Amino acid sequence: MSVTVRVPAKVNVQLAVGAARADGFHDLANVFLAVGLYDEVTVTPADGLRVTCEGPDAAQVPLDRTNLAARAAIALAGRCGRTPDVHVHIVKDIPVAGGMAGGSADGAGALLACDALWGVGASREELLDICAELGSDVPFSLAGGAALGIGRGEQLTALETGGAFHWVFATAARGLSTPAVFREFDRLTAGLDVPEPVASPELLAALAKGDPDALAATVSNDLQPAALSLFPELADTLAAGRAAGALTSLVSGSGPTTAFLARDPEAAARIAGALRTSGTCRSVRVASGPAPGATIVGNAA
Ligand code: C5P
């Protein structure tokens, strides 16, 4: 018996960041769009908890209990009074430490898979609650589509989208730690009046219309200056994608993956080709969004 769940990556089309709160987190207005790059998480009964991972970046994935997939299994098992005796296998396609919620995807995937494997039947609300305990981006990995996240980013409201948006993603030679990028944001904004984060009505309208030009004109990421400060070479990648015809370019979440919006799939292919030969990034992927959230794709007896 095993259960396999497929979970998408995300790009933040708006990431408005407020001042640091007393608990160290930042209030956000976080507009998430799930995109069609997926990790697959398979859970199988085992003697104890074990995590394995395959894929080009598998060596960078922690296989201990800091892995969000392991933490998800432990959290659900704790809620239903059982031990998390499960082998979690991750087939990783989402860039690691890239600002695309790859770790969060594995947490949401393992949670949904263990729920099915153990026949728990947790409600959507219970699953989203556990996701929020695991991390700020994990509820969105479960939900998918497009959503506004407020609070730490975990309080979600689903958003309408009027069509598919075509993206190119460039991964970087090294990762960036999300806490380090938020710390750099704090350093760069020290002494400044940081406004309350609010979602842009123009951006939400662009998403609802499915209008890539309007979306390109309104995307924003308040973490981008911090990511560029820690990783200045990303400016070259952003410039290369714009020179290749991207409607806009931005750092995805806390980075260092950079995201490029294209008008249509053909333009995305052209931009991807130019980035691949630009010498400014490690690898290039094309994906469109919105994509569905965590979904059970296999249930083997
Ligand atoms: O919630 P999560 O564990 O994914 O967050 C990772 C880190 O990112 C936090 O420890 C914190 O440093 C930073 N963070 C933040 N404000 C948020 C979300 C994350 O400062 N809203």
pLDDT of residue 64: 95
Catalytic residues: 10, 137
Instruction: Say whether both 283 and 187 belong to one domain.
Output: yes
- Cα separations (Å) of 118 from 39, 73, 86, 124, 236? 21, 11, 10, 16, 48
pLDDT of residue 83: 97
Instruction: Say whether both 125 and 204 belong to one domain.
Output: no
Residue 173 sits in a domain whose CATH number is 3.30.70.890
Instruction: Say whether both 230 and 104 belong to one domain.
Output: no
Please say if the pLDDT value at position 301 is more than 80: no
Which backbone phi and psi does 45 adopt, to 5 degrees? -55, 145
Identify the residue whose C-alpha is closest to ligand 1 atom 10: 179
Ligand 1 atom with the shortest distance to the CA of 28: 21
pLDDT of residue 279: 97
Question: Ligand 1: distance of its center to the CA of 272 in Å?
Answer: 30
Per the CB < 8 A criterion, the answer to whether 291 and 142 are in contact is no
Ligand 1 atom with the shortest distance to the CA of 254: 8
Q: Please count the structural domains in the chain.
A: 2
> pLDDT category, 300, cuts 50, 70, 90?
confident
More confident residue, 57 or 30: 30
pLDDT tens string 55-89:
999 999 999 999 999 999 999 999 999 999 999 99
Average pLDDT, the chain: 97
Query: What secondary structure letter does DSSP report for 164?
Result: -
With pLDDT > 70 as the criterion, what percentage of the chain qualifies?
100
Pocket residue to mutate for ligand 1, from 182, 222, 223, 230, most atoms within 8 A of Cβ: 182
Q: Alpha-carbon distance 199 to 12, whole Å?
A: 12
Instruction: Say whether both 117 and 169 belong to one domain.
Output: no
Q: Alpha-carbon distance 192 to 198, whole Å?
A: 18
pTM: 0.96
> pLDDT category, 139, cuts 50, 70, 90?
very high
Instruction: Say whether both 7 and 119 belong to one domain.
Output: yes
Q: Say how many C-beta atoms besides its own lie within 10 A of residue 135's C-beta.
A: 21
Question: Ligand 1: distance of its center to the CA of 36 in Å?
Answer: 24
> pLDDT category, 7, cuts 50, 70, 90?
very high
Instruction: Say whether both 150 and 34 belong to one domain.
Output: yes
In the block, residue with structure tokens 């400016």: 235
Identify the residue whose C-alpha is closest to ligand 1 atom 3: 135
Instruction: Say whether both 177 and 104 belong to one domain.
Output: no
Instruction: Say whether both 139 and 169 belong to one domain.
Output: no
Please say if the pLDDT value at position 97 is more than 90: no
Q: Say how many C-beta atoms besides its own lie within 10 A of residue 79's C-beta.
A: 13
pLDDT tens string 253-284:
999 999 999 999 999 999 999 999 999 999 99
- Cα separations (Å) of 180 from 8, 224, 226? 24, 13, 9
Q: Say how many C-beta atoms besides its own lie within 10 A of residue 270's C-beta.
A: 15
Ligand 1 atom with the shortest distance to the CA of 183: 12
Instruction: Say whether both 248 and 263 belong to one domain.
Output: yes
What is the chain's alpha carbon radius of gyration, rounded to the nearest angstrom? 19
- Burial of 148 (C-beta count, 10 Å sphere; 0-12/13-18/19+): buried
What six digits make up the tokens of 101?
Answer: 């919620």
Ligand 1 is surrounded, with C-beta below 6 A, by: 25-26, 28, 135-137, 152-153, 178-179, 182
Instruction: Say whether both 138 and 259 belong to one domain.
Output: no
Domain membership of residue 100 as a residue range: 2-159+291-300
Residue 138 sits in a domain whose CATH number is 3.30.230.10
Instruction: Say whether both 169 and 89 belong to one domain.
Output: no
Instruction: Say whether both 139 and 12 belong to one domain.
Output: yes
